Structure 1
């Protein structure tokens, strides 16, 4: 049961009709490399709203969440600005390389592979152009200095194209369509809002926080705040289009204060049908084309888990388990190697470098290193176990002690 509170001082309500909040092991999954921790936060992400607060009819938090749930925007085009400030150390580009390799599961591959390319969104500010025409046609373009990366979904085909390297990545088959069943391109405020709303349970306060203008449109603001201490999440604000119910802007701020950790939103949006040619793609002459290996397709049971979230999903993540509940839940899994960071003769320089980025801790679980960002923190124990979540260092140590 989740608490939904009105911004009216005399009204407070608990909504018993909403789905029970789910534990979100997926957003806490991190590779052992410390820089990979940030990749887990991509599912929670957004830009500055227009000035002015429109005068809109009163609405309760319950009604606004229902409006989001009933939203069925199938056609749109626009520009999305995404800014991420996790507070990662400057590793001179090493972090993006490691995260890309972790996303691919190897150290190489095509630069046009979307699983590696979109990890660039975990740091800095990026501009995206997005378009959608139903569940089978979407396009996302990541605009970079002097180059562009495009991800096009048309029917059973998914094409990734990196103009900088002139490389193409092609995936065909049923799974390709399954990745985009929502009818929306990835990395939009709706994706982020859907993930945040899954977190709502009795550990959460949800209120309507006034109105705003976003991308020239009137919007309501939904404010989500954890009630628990021990989490690094301060608040999540979602600007919801007053007419369509589509989330237009998503902002996540840390409990520690300061700038948003994740801030993404439309700066321009249209709900007219994009031109059919928007989704046409033919590999440019001379481009290197990499076909997705059939063996890379996830097993059916894994794809089913990916759509369910919560503990069902945790069961499909190499035995990951969830400790605790709500916003202070921690995902735990074993790397299987029986050892933590490389040290001594086993890559001492790398182990020493990574170790210098973290804090040494100890407890009933033994010893380990905590790697921290402004949102997601991870504890890697000396015997190869990983504990990760949007929680404080003390909460990680407590979870590790309890899980021992």
Structure 2
């Protein structure tokens, strides 16, 4: 169990030192100078921040100068405070009394500025802030001469879990190491993924699979490093892994099925990012493929997350599997008094005028049969960009055909019904029988 007596003695000794320092005039003057410098910096740093932001706007967004001025604008308060404290430190050293507090504050501000400059270069701001906090805490304890006593104090705070002794120092080391290692791991993972996606030697599906394997491998290595540094016996996880396997077998069937289906899709390349697919009532472009689902964006800008298992077990229409060329069909009807050979040529010419319709293979119009009210024709044409939509280009083609029909005087018939009314003689036998009810 934790040694509570030693903890109490440690806290009482620290309180006595604080009370002793409070009665020293030199120490009080340094504290007042430090607080005064902070107040002045707080009310004046916005002008310096605005000046840095003004310089930032003069450079392109990705310019290193723009990034430098952005960082300086964020650190305007500690920069002004540090400048003031350096001036006060020079005054104290010129007058003669010791100025340990001002010197320590200057050292702390320098450490804070340097650490924030380094961590601000990272893209993930959350991990960067965690790393900055841990690094500055360690630097502050070292500057104040409290690092060794703090380590001893945390080492004394321990408890036993079975045969294993776990101290707060070990937990703190594991947390700090975990934050730093995961920060480096995620940064390295993003860098490698960017390099993999830029490689033209790999297909899109292999790029996605390789990037995910790299990320999983780096995270697994980071977890093993953290566990080994924290003093935990890794072999103790053998029982846990067995129990986890049983849990996966019963409770995580769908998740595991989606994971395996995702790997199969990435390996056989039947569906890859950029393909235009149709699953059930969903038609759209594959935006991304994850470990559990595929993101499909429709023409309405709606994003459907389709489980990978559905892409394996259900019928999927891949409009761009081997080629992006797609043939579309548009039914057209003309009246019986139309010159059919001329109409066929006019329809094919109207389709060629639409920009998205391919000239090779050329549009082809066929006569399908004799309908009740019209002669049935069918226009077949090809496009090479199904991801841009199919119904919209069909509409453009039909509008072009309609304009040409209006110009050439070709009629598009519609169903008509003739009603014939015959007068019946009232003295006819049929009407007589009806009146008698027979």
Bigger RCO of structures 1 and 2 (CA < 8 A, at least 6 apart): 1
Question: Whose Rg is larger?
Answer: 2
TM over 0.5: no
Higher helix share: 2
